[in-house]
Chain A
Amino acid sequence: MKKCLLICFVLFLAGGLLFAGGGAEKKEPDYLVMSWDDIVKAAKAEGSVNFYSWWGEEFWKTAAADFSKKYGIEAKVIMGDLTANVNKILAEKDKKAGSVDCMLIGGEGVKSTIDSGVFYGPINKLLPNYAKLDQKLATVQEGVQTKGYLAPVYRNQTGLLYDPDKVKNPPQTWEELVAWINANPKQFAFCDPTTGGSGQSFVQLVIDKTTGGLDKYKGDTALDTAKVANWNLAWDWFNKMKDKMVITASNNDSLSRLNQGEVSLIIAWDDDTQVNLKSGSLFKRAKLYIPQMGLAGGGDSAGVLKNAAHKAAGLLFVSYLTEADVQVQMNELIGSYLARTDVQGKMALLPEEERQKNGVAWVPAPYKDHFKKEFVKNVLMK
């Protein structure tokens, strides 16, 4: 009896495996070779799309609602946190169908996601408006070559934000800034570079001014240890000046402290500043400018995930974000600077001329990574 049961069980298992392996898997269409009209049709057939972002909910939710009305595709926007969003897509990387279709990506997330190959594409030849986007940002973002996998959605820029009641002559050059910090101890703040891009902008500025400029790092795809050998000069500068400056916990912590009167001059993002001004978290008299010595700027972009359950809808949504009227709407709602170079927005804390003249590109990602780690080791932990 037992032998009979065992034989039946083995046959059942074998049969199950046969049938399990016998069914043909549905082949996914290759959207990269399809026409845009066919992609739109496929997107409508998919019926829904999930988009992940980490800030600017007023715009993303509005855009999702308008997208749904226009195409009849249900667009859901989840507001997370950049790190949590990246962790989620990396956790789902090996899943056949992930729960994220497309997402906004920026900051330190760009390197980890591009290196992990989680994005579908390249999409640069596919999206109708791609050629009208800022091509510098479309090529290199956060010092990472994005190879056409990401579509810039907005540009952003760091600047010096100050209280005009307390700062009468805002510094324009490096020497003026150092003199100002010395004359006004604990009135200048920047954020920890591991938690915010505005802090990274300041660290990059210090490296630029104390170690011989940033040109030598251009085009590097890997860290050249010889080029960073003299970065001790930057860390020495920080350690010498540390007691006269305030290191904050995040981009917005810097803005909070300015608002609270604790400090009077900070490094801040233009879009963060706009959102804080709009929500009543920052006094209206605050002024932002890019000093003549230059500060870093870049932008954020959107990409479709390789294992997106709704790839066509994801491509359509990302393309929708680059439409002229949507870009203008984004600028009005959250103050972000348009990624489209052929369209002008009405809201801009920083004039285009100042961006072009004083905006500086980020150093390549390996150097950015390196200076973040070195800052913690040589400055924060000392």
Chain B
Amino acid sequence: MAQQVKPHYRIVEQRRRAFRTTLVVFFILVQLVWIGVPMLMAVLWSLVNPDYPWSYPQVFPSHLSFYQWNYVFKFTDIVRAIATSYSVAPSATFLTFLLALPTAYILGRRKFPGREAIKILILLPIIMPGMVVALFLSRVFSFIGLDQNFFGLILGHTLMAMPYMLRILTTSFEAIPQDIIDAAENLGAGSFVKFTEIFIPMVLPGLFAGTIFSFITSLEEFNLTFVMGTPTFETIPTILFAFLGYHFIRTNAAVVALILMIPNITMLFIAERFLKTQYLAAALGKM
């Protein structure tokens, strides 16, 4: 009996599958090393027993304890800082959304003189050094009575988050094909229906991405909070900074870094589940 020769398309399919599997495995390995190892180091450093220092040539600490966690919770106002961080961040993100959505619509869908210049100008808060923005904004806020003030803090965080939300939403609005809008108008859709049934669903992926960026930017904002907010308000980064600056204490910094990182990573995973790309795919005729 003659040996069965594999058809060419099967060989190509097998090679493609093998290539995809190799790529996925390689990606997972890179992520494990790039992100997993530093996370593991942070966890281990946060559990070092001070009576048994972790030093070379030990690969892992010989004894673990919760001393470092107790220390941070005892000698810093971390609980209050967590509460402040997680009340400022959602408020700032919501305010950013309210301000950015209509602005991004105009920048993305309308043509007017100076549009490109404005698109660059909105990036200024992230181009300028953070402390410079903080120092000058604090003077303005102090003049109008908004420093050491919760609403002032939210406004400051909104300013820093706006560039991300605006840029992402503007690009999302630009990507919406005009023929869909024309078709809706032909079928009698008014402005409200167009906005709620077409624009919002189609910019939803961008909105989620912008929300995540804005939330994380607010959560990690140090300069503005430190200059305008302390001593009345402390956030996780203002406490973390004391341990990460020139007076870097690895054990304490590991604890505060984990307090900052773990909720962020959890939120990112949750947000991913809601990130749907089928709206935009449908718009581009892929479905």
Q: Which residues of A are at the interface with B, using a C-beta cutoff of 8 A?
A: 50, 52, 54-55, 57-58, 61, 76, 78-84, 87-88, 90-92, 94-95, 99-100, 195-196, 250-253, 256, 259-262, 272, 275-284
Q: Across the interface, do A280 and B247 meet the contact criterion of CB distance under 8 Å? A: no
CB-CB contacts of B213-224 with A at 8 A, as 1s and 0s? 000000000110
Residues of B within 8 A of A (CB): 48-57, 67-68, 71, 75-76, 131, 134-135, 138-139, 142, 147-148, 222-223, 226-227, 230-232, 234, 238-239, 241-242, 245-252
A92/B242 contact (C-beta < 8 A), A261-B57, A281-B48, A282-B55 known: no
**B contact residues around A250 at 8 Å (CB):** 246, 248
A259/B232 in contact, CB under 8 A: no
User: Are the CB atoms of B231 and A76 closer together than 8 Å?
Assistant: yes
Say whether, besides A279-B50, A279-B68, A280-B53, A57 and B242 are in contact (CB < 8 Å): yes
Q: Provided the pairs A81-B242, A99-B230 are in contact, do residues A280 and B54 lie with their beta carbons within 8 angstroms?
A: yes
| Pick from A50, A91, A251, A278: contact of B247, CB under 8 Å | A251
Instruction: Report chain B residues within 8 Å CB of A83.
Output: 245
| Complex CA distance for A58 and B75, rounded to whole angstroms | 6
Known: A61-B75, A91-B135, A280-B50. A79 touches B232 (CB 8 A): no
User: Nearest chain A CB to B200's CB is how many angstroms away?
Assistant: 40
Query: What chain B residues lie within 8 Å of A281 (beta carbons)?
Result: 48, 53-54, 249-251
Measured between alpha carbons, how far is A279 from B234 in the docked complex, in Å? 24
**What is the bound-complex CA distance between A279 and B241, given in angstroms?**
18
Per the bound structure, the CA–CA distance linking A95 and B234 in Å amounts to 21
CB-based nearest B residue for A259: B55
* Chain A residues with CB under 8 A of B54: 280-281
Q: Are A84 and B76 in contact (CB under 8 A)?
A: no
Where chain A touches its partner, the secondary structure class is: mixed
Chain B: CB-nearest residue to A256: B250
CB neighbours (8 Å) of B75 from chain A are 57-58, 61
Instruction: Verify A252–B246 contact, CB threshold 8 A.
Output: yes
Query: In the complex, A280→B222 CA distance in Å?
Result: 27
B56 touches A261 (CB 8 A): yes
Chain B contacts of A76 at CB under 8 A?
231
Report the bound CA distance from A83 to B249 in whole Å: 17
* Inter-chain contact A196/B246, CB cutoff 8 Å: yes
CA distance A52 to B227 in the complex (A): 12
Residues of B within 8 A of A280 (CB): 48-54, 67-68, 251
Top 10 closest A-B pairs, CB basis? A261-B56, A280-B50, A81-B245, A79-B242, A55-B247, A252-B248, A283-B55, A280-B53, A280-B48, A91-B135
A84 & B51 in contact (Cβ 8 Å cutoff) = no
- Which B residues are in CB contact (< 8 Å) with A91? 134-135, 138-139, 227
Contacts of B50 in A (CB 8 A): 278-280
| Residue pair B142, A95 in contact (C-beta under 8 Å) | yes
Residue of B nearest to A258 (CB): B55
Q: Which residue of B lies closest to A275 (CB)?
A: B249
Taking A252-B248, A259-B56 as given, write out 6 further A-B residue pairs in contact, using a Cβ cutoff of 8 Å, ordered by the A residue number: A54-B242, A81-B242, A84-B131, A99-B148, A277-B53, A282-B55
Contacts of B55 on A, CB cut-off 8 Å? Answer: 259-261, 282-283
Distance (whole angstroms) from the CB of B205 to the closest CB of chain A: 37
- CA–CA, A278 to B245, complex, Å? 19
Contacts of B252 in A (CB 8 A): 279
List 10 A-B pairs, Cβ < 8 Å. A54-B242, A54-B246, A76-B231, A91-B135, A91-B138, A252-B246, A261-B55, A272-B247, A280-B49, A282-B53
Closest B residue to A260 by CB, please name it.
B56
Would you call B239 and A99 a contact (CB within 8 A)?
no
CA distance A327 to B68 in the complex (A): 25
CB distance from B129 to the nearest CB of A (A): 11
